[in-house]
Structure 1
């Protein structure tokens, strides 16, 4: 049976996910945050950037923002993972990324390094302990990530996805400002100074999803952030453009493996 839990930490830039996935499969999707997954049991398969990989206990899976990927269990018993969801600004605020135009990058999506795995796993377990001191809770994320960043982290210029006279970042800003509105394809095409067919072709070729699918995921990603900020689910549904609570709950569970009511 699938079991998924999302937790907030004392640092608003870092969230935790505990998952035991058996039958649940992740469709192709992206995140707004970095996801660092520690595989603790079982075997998982995922495809990302044209490669299909399988991972098991001790592996660290790294998914940067905007990278499309999927995921499924390879065995009937499923796999267990502990995930850090880290907002990009967290690394910049710690001066790990030196420029607003750069981002933290890693040479591979999968890293096999027992010492780094142990450091991250210790931090994860400790952050789940309600009895640790506030100072320890504040320091743990940085301490846990230091070995990973020191050994494998690289600063790279953030990639841009040009779309006519605009780019994906500008479209994202526009859509985030209009999540609750019925955005149309002509609006997006006008922003890019492209025809509707040109926008759809360029968007799918460069991003890997249709504009509609990408916008739907953006709404759900923003919904997750609002739920973690303790905003009621009904309000969240309306704020991200779902006018039917049942439709929102179904889409959310299909994407994340649990209903909005279980986010805490």
Structure 2
């Protein structure tokens, strides 16, 4: 028996699989494939080599490599997978060319974080998925480093450039600004944009936009605008999203906040 779920996270295809004794015939992919083994022992056949990948292992396949294998009959196996073109990975990480130097890395902590991001990508909440895309880009940098590929040095960005990114986010607060658009605006790869933005603000771009959205919502509520209208004005998907994020930030619902003001 096998249960498999698929989703798209930005430009990445991701999947989560729980199964017993699943095996794959020898095959190849057009994309780079990153596999994260969570439960069970995977026997891997890769380009005429054989090895095993246990829990905490990350397997890395370059486009066109012949691979196969799986779990033994009756053995439980849980894993997540990520698929991305080599060109997309290279662009996102600021590399001229992308090719894994190693096919197996044992990184239990990173494996669990990658698995968490992939599983969150299956959420129905758009914001949850978008935040995981940001986290995943940074984790992919760790994966590539672990595989033996050296990433370009960290870009030191001035306060003014991060300020420009904040201006773009603030001007389009009514909608989600993609990492691709923001990176193009600043002339940076997604990876270097995220690292620089977090270093400057302590938040990812979408987290920063959310706190601004919530702050502006508070101002509108203070001026007597109805909560249902506030959600629309500042770019929340609906009032329940506003309620959730407002409560997380300020410890009360928008309605409670307005009642306190009207006492």
Q: TM-score normalised to the size of structure 2?
A: 0.51
Preserved CA contact (<8 Å) 1:36 1:83? yes
Deviation for aligned residue 1:132: 5.7
Deviation for aligned residue 1:95: 4.6
Structure 1: segments with no counterpart, 5+ residues: 156-264
- Partners of 1:122 and 1:34 lie apart in 2 by 20
Q: Which residue of 2 aligns with 1:124?
A: 118
| Change beyond 3 A, Cα 1:118–1:96 | farther
| Change beyond 3 A, Cα 1:6–1:132 | closer
* Cα deviation code 1:165-205 (max 9, x no counterpart): xxxxxxxxxxxxxxxxxxxxxxxxxxxxxxxxxxxxxxxxx
Preserved CA contact (<8 Å) 1:97 1:104? no
RMSD: 2.4
Report the structure number with the largest CA radius of gyration: 2
Query: In the alignment, which of 76, 79, 82 is matched to residue 81 of structure 1?
Result: 79
Q: Which residue of 1 aligns with 2:194?
A: none
* Cα deviation code 1:11-70 (max 9, x no counterpart): 1x2011112232442111000111111111111112112211112211111111100011
Output aligned runs, 1:80-229, within 5 Å.
Answer: 80-98=78-96, 102-106=97-101, 108-131=102-125, 133=127, 135-154=130-149
How many pairs align? 150
The structure with higher relative contact order (CA 8 Å, sep 6+) is 1
In the alignment, structure 1 residue 71 sits paired with structure 2 residue 69: yes
* Bigger share in helix: 2
Preserved CA contact (<8 Å) 1:126 1:132? no
Q: Which residue of 2 aligns with 1:3?
A: 3
Q: Give the 3-state SS of the residue equivalent to 1:141 in structure 2.
A: helix
- Partners of 2:68 and 2:52 lie apart in 1 by 12
Q: Give the 3-state SS of the residue equivalent to 1:94 in structure 2.
A: helix
Q: Which residue of 2 aligns with 1:15?
A: 13
Q: Give the 3-state SS of the residue equivalent to 1:62 in structure 2.
A: strand
Q: Which residue of 2 aligns with 1:35?
A: 33
* Cα deviation code 1:139-190 (max 9, x no counterpart): 13212212222343427xxxxxxxxxxxxxxxxxxxxxxxxxxxxxxxxxxx
Q: TM-score normalised to the size of structure 1?
A: 0.51
